């Protein structure tokens, strides 16, 4: 666990523009909306014959993943390449960090390679923040998930998916269901949803998978799935993160599915036009039924498509903010 200071002291320029992207917490509605609007301009790029823009031409992006994630890594790599950047995927398992080299030493080595952006995924909360504090001023840092703390690009691709499906955030009731305790995605989603002004945020989970004092984040807590999902507009399912569970927090996966798994019967309790989301990877028959995941109310594949666009937006905005910040210092 890394010590934390106010992330907005380092992730924003003096003018309030994005310089790093560490967390959604504390960012303004205007800035989150700018990220969504910028991402919207990239969404249709995959349908074009030429899928590149020159916004990061000549820049080097290093995907610094201390924790495995095929989906997140691949979408960041594709996003960087569509922005015309050179991309280096650092294999941490065979790097010198596994031989005892410190994180600071690794950063110094990467600085010597004249890298322009680090995309960081780490099992320890605060790692991306720590790296942003210790990089040279001309390097942007994007948090691709740190411990239980934050996963801001996942939250923003979820926000884009909701906006595409529902338009205005203000009238919506959103339910986040499952392993809230271990989910950095849920925390980032809650901060983003509150900032964007949704009517109500509900979290639904057994007591053993709820963080202490989760109510302080401005959510309503339900331990009964049927009560919590009633009349909601959006159902956001979460993966059971068994690799982070140090004790037996659940009697069994089958029992969890019976009580909290999203089936067609439970989905009927939501509004008739309610949509279903999941950050992936999906555990079918544990968090969600295949009939729901593959159904016409599922936006799961839209989330994947939007992930590339959102990461392109964040990377281009952060690099722009870095360049403007350096220009002001000269």
38 is in an annotated binding site: no
82 is in an annotated binding site: no
194 is in an annotated binding site: no
Concerning whether 244 is annotated as a catalytic residue, the answer is: no
Instruction: Classify residue 49 as left (phi > 0), alpha (psi -120 to 50) or beta.
Output: alpha
305 is in an annotated binding site: no
Phi/psi of residue 134, nearest 5 degrees: -115, -5
9 is in an annotated binding site: no
Concerning whether 268 is annotated as a catalytic residue, the answer is: no
Concerning whether 326 is annotated as a catalytic residue, the answer is: no
Q: How far apart are CA 101 and CA 226, in angstroms?
A: 50
Concerning whether 72 is annotated as a catalytic residue, the answer is: yes
In the set 72, 153, 161, 173, the catalytic residue is 72
CB distance 189 to 165 below 8 Å = no
In the set 70, 99, 212, 216, the catalytic residue is 99
Q: How far apart are CA 119 and CA 22, in angstroms?
A: 10
Concerning whether 191 is annotated as a catalytic residue, the answer is: no
In the set 19, 121, 129, 311, the catalytic residue is 121
271 is in an annotated binding site: no
Residue with tokens 């594949």: 301
72 is in an annotated binding site: yes
Q: Cα dihedral sign for 132, 109, 311, 183?
A: negative
In the set 29, 51, 57, 71, the catalytic residue is 71
151 is in an annotated binding site: yes
User: Does a cis peptide bond (omega within 30 degrees of 0) precede residue 281?
Assistant: yes
In the set 19, 20, 59, 151, the catalytic residue is 151
152 is in an annotated binding site: no
Q: How far apart are CA 115 and CA 61, in angstroms?
A: 6
Binding residues: 71-72, 99, 121, 151, 154, 184, 239, 280-281
Binding residues for carbamoyl phosphate: 71-72, 121, 151, 154, 280-281
Catalytically active residues are 71-72, 99, 121, 151
Binding residues for L-aspartate: 99, 184, 239
């Amino acid at each position: 666990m890394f010590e934390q200071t106010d992330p907005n002291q380092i992730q924003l320029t003096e003018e309030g523009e994005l310089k790093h992207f560490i967390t959604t917490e504390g960012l303004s509605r205007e800035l989150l909306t700018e990220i969504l609007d910028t991402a919207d301009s990239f969404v249709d790029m995959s349908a074009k014959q030429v899928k590149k823009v020159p916004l990061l031409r000549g820049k080097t992006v290093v995907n610094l993943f201390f924790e495995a994630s095929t989906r997140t890594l691949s979408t960041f790599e594709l996003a960087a390449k569509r922005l015309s950047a050179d991309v280096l995927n650092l294999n941490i398992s065979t790097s010198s960090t596994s031989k005892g080299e410190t994180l600071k030493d690794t950063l110094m080595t990467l600085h010597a390679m004249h890298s322009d952006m680090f995309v960081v995924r780490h099992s320890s909360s605060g790692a991306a923040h720590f790296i942003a504090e210790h990089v040279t001023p001309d390097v942007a840092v994007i948090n691709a998930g740190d411990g239980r703390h934050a996963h801001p690009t996942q939250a923003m691709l979820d926000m884009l998916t909701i906006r595409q499906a529902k338009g205005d955030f203000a009238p919506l009731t959103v339910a986040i269901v499952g392993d809230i305790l271990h989910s950095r995605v849920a925390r980032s989603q809650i901060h983003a949803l509150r900032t964007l002004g949704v009517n109500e945020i509900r979290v639904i989970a057994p007591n053993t998978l709820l963080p202490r004092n989760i109510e302080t984040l401005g959510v309503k807590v339900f331990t009964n799935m049927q009560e919590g999902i009633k009349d909601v507009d959006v159902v956001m399912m979460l993966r059971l993160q068994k690799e982070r569970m140090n004790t037996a927090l659940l009697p069994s996966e089958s029992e969890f599915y019976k009580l909290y798994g999203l089936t067609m019967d439970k989905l009927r309790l939501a509004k008739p036009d309610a949509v279903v989301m999941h950050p992936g990877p999906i555990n079918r028959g544990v968090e969600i039924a295949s009939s729901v995941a593959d159904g016409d109310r599922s936006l799961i594949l839209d989330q994947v498509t939007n992930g590339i666009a959102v990461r392109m937006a964040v990377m281009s905005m952060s690099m722009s903010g870095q360049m403007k910040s350096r220009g002001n210092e000269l």
